[in-house]
Amino acid sequence: MSRSGLNRELMSLQGELLRMGTLVEELIYKAVKSMLTKDQAMAQEVIDTDDVVDQMALEMEHKCLSVIALQQPMARDLRSIGTVLRVIVDLERIADHAEDIAGITISLMEQEYMKPLIDIPRMGDICRDMLKRSLKSYIEEDTALAWSLIEDEKTIDALYNQIFRELLAFMMEDPRTINQALSLLLAAGHLERIADHITNLGEMVVYMVDGNRVDFNRISRES
């Protein structure tokens, strides 16, 4: 494969990664929206679409390995392909978490919520914005934008802790709320994990551009 051929393959991978990321962002939106509006059909759509994301990940992994085998890229090109291989894993995991949130939505479909859902949708909005920015940082090779994800991850952690405290209070006051409270806490936990996976994307952008390994989650905890 010529240099121009390799560049075309790298651009193709970039486009496919962006398409996958856009689809995953849509799944986050629909998973949280279905919970908020009790839309069972939308929740089921999220569950069904997870298989599409899984197939996209398999096809991109195969393409990455084929490029490595045929071209044996070095240095920056190899880091670029390694970044794609890592990012597709995180995107696939994010889709899995969205699927799990949709499953919780369906399990709660016949129940009236013990309180208005405010912080869970807010977490969803922040996660979607983080994912959009992480993909933008990847496309534009903008490490400053990637580093900015740390502050959002802190916000997500704070919201999760707030939800935990509120739901714990409900459970202590009325044991009949325990099952629903645990389900809502689990949904918030999935969003917290989604944010962690998105920070992984940011870390890989820094690695791709600068060749440096960083741990955004550790930095977030220590700052």
Task: Spell out the CATH class of 3-222.
Answer: mainly alpha
The pLDDT tens digits for 23-80 are: 999 999 999 999 999 999 999 999 999 999 999 999 999 999 998 888 777 888 889 9
CB 182 within 8 A of CB 111: no
The pLDDT tens digits for 111-126 are: 999 999 999 999 999 9
Structure-token match 């208005």, residue found: 116
pLDDT > 80? residue 223? no
Tokens of residue 106, six digits: 């369906």
pLDDT > 60? residue 109? yes
For the chain, the structural domain boundaries read 3-222
Q: What is the mean pLDDT of residues 127-138?
A: 97
The pLDDT tens digits for 212-222 are: 888 887 777 77
Distance from C-alpha of 206 to C-alpha of 223, rounded to nearest angstrom: 19
Distance from C-alpha of 16 to C-alpha of 23, rounded to nearest angstrom: 11
Query: Burial, 191: exposed, middle or buried (Cβ in 10 Å; 0-12, 13-18, 19+)?
Result: buried
Contacts of 221 (CB under 8 A, 6+ apart): none
Residue 3 pLDDT class (50, 70, 90 cuts): low
pLDDT > 80? residue 198? yes
Distance from C-alpha of 27 to C-alpha of 127, rounded to nearest angstrom: 11
